[in-house]
Amino acid sequence: MQATRDRIRRAAERAGRDPSDVRLVAATKYVEASRVLDAVRVGLTICGENRWQEAQAKMQAVGERGDVEWHFIGRLQRRKLKWLVGRFTLIHSVESLEQAEEIQRRAHERHTSQAILLEVNVGGEESKGGFSPDALPSAVSQIDTFPSVCVQGLMTVPPWNPDPELMRPYFQRLKQMAELISRLPLQRVHMHELSMGMSNDFEIAVEEGATLVRVGTALFGPRREPVTAES
């Protein structure tokens, strides 16, 4: 973990940024609960989960530690939002107005406020969800009227390329979108966070303004989906 933090620090310094402005989100998909607990004991403060079923066991293992945040970073399914709202500090991957409406409904029912990020499909990939850059301003204006939803920023997953340098334009585009949104007359929408960059490219993302980097393989090594009795 320290090696990853050092890489984040050096990338921030190259860009003239304060390294403390960048937070590490450990992508813990398929990582055993015991290993997550070990990581927390040596300083991990944000766990990023893709599945509620997995997250439950890990939350129980870590316990009620006030210094640990749980973020949801996986693809959202509207029917499963009832399990997420109020249980995760931040939901990174809200990709449609309908999902935001459902989060508003669930948060209102629970008398809470849910912080979210809006996922932007900066690469225009048909295989990925997310708001298109053109549709984002209008959607944000509508979400700004939802009293129980607090937009904290944007998230993206750019088209895969083994050369991380080729990811840079996509990260730049997301930052430009955040700057555009921040100039709109909004009340509940803020552009405090840019969630971008994973194990292959997080240093480039930091250089381009990321405040949250989602790192799994670089921390835990390659992972495989557990084999279950049903499979």
Q: Is the pLDDT of residue 210 over 50?
A: yes
Q: Which CATH architecture has domain 2-220?
A: Alpha-Beta Barrel (3.20)
Q: State the average pLDDT over residues 16-35.
A: 97
Percentage above 70 pLDDT, the chain: 97
Q: Virtual CA dihedral for 57, 63, 64, 68, nearest 10 degrees? A: -80
Interval 89-135: pLDDT, tens: 999 999 999 999 999 999 999 999 999 999 999 999 999 999 999 99
Q: Is 217 helix (H, G, I), strand (E, B) or coil?
A: helix
User: Is the C-alpha dihedral spanning 164, 170, 153, 132 positive or negative?
Assistant: negative
Helix (H) or strand (E) holding 231: none
Q: What is the mean pLDDT of the chain?
A: 95
Q: State the average pLDDT over residues 71-90.
A: 96
Helix, strand, coil share of the chain (percent; to 5): 40, 20, 40
d(CA 130, CA 113): 22
Instruction: Quickly list DSSP for 31-84.
Output: --HHHHHHHHHTT--EEEES-HHHHHHHHHHH-S-TT-EEEE-S---GGGHHHH
Contacts of 101 (CB under 8 A, 6+ apart): 146
Where do the structural domains in the chain lie, given as residue ranges? 2-220
What's the pLDDT band for 229 if we cut at 50, 70, 90?
Answer: very low
Which phi and psi angles does 98 have, rounded to 5°?
-65, -40
Helix (H) or strand (E) holding 114: strand 114-119
146 token code pair: 């939802």
Interval 131-186: pLDDT, tens: 999 999 999 999 999 999 999 999 999 999 999 999 999 999 999 999 999 999 99
d(CA 131, CA 129): 7
What's the pLDDT band for 64 if we cut at 50, 70, 90?
Answer: confident
